[in-house]
Amino acid sequence: LAKTTQPISMDSYEGQEVNITCSHNNIATNDYITWYQQFPSQGPRFIIQGYKTKVTNEVASLFIPADRKSSTLSLPRVSLSDTAVYYCLVGDTGFQKLVFGTGTRLLVSP
């Protein structure tokens, strides 16, 4: 499983766009990039997954450059309820074990 590196924490204000970048230099050809969100005292929740270019859903967008050695989770117009820890994980679709890195603790202020 490829190792990932993310900023430990980020601060933002309500209404701003937040971009969290994850580095995964050793990503393999079959690996996908997946992001999870975790609120305090809750289990993680799947946000988005992608392989290359751009993926968008109702919650976020995921930007993946051509070399796939990094990815950026973009949260449009964050609100206070987006305060959480965001984890970037890398692995192939067949993999089952999830190895969580340190995650990025996002704090959204009024």
Partner 1 sequence: GAVVSQHPSRVICKSGTSVKIECRSLDFQATTMFWYRQFPKQSLMLMATSNEGSKATYEQGVEKDKFLINHASLTLSTLTVTSAHPEDSSFYICSARDPLPGQTYNEQFFGPGTRLTVL
Residues that bind partner 1 (CB under 8 A): 32, 34, 38, 41-46, 49, 87, 91-103
CB of 8 to partner 1, least distance (A): 11
Radius of gyration of the chain (CA): 13
Q: Is the dihedral of CA 102, 84, 90, 73 positive or negative?
A: negative
Minimum CB distance to partner 1 smaller for 90 or for 108: 90
CB of 95 to partner 1, least distance (A): 6
Minimum CB distance to partner 1 smaller for 45 or for 52: 45
CB 15 within 8 A of CB 5: no
Phi, psi of 68 (to 5 degrees): 60, 15
CB of 96 to partner 1, least distance (A): 6
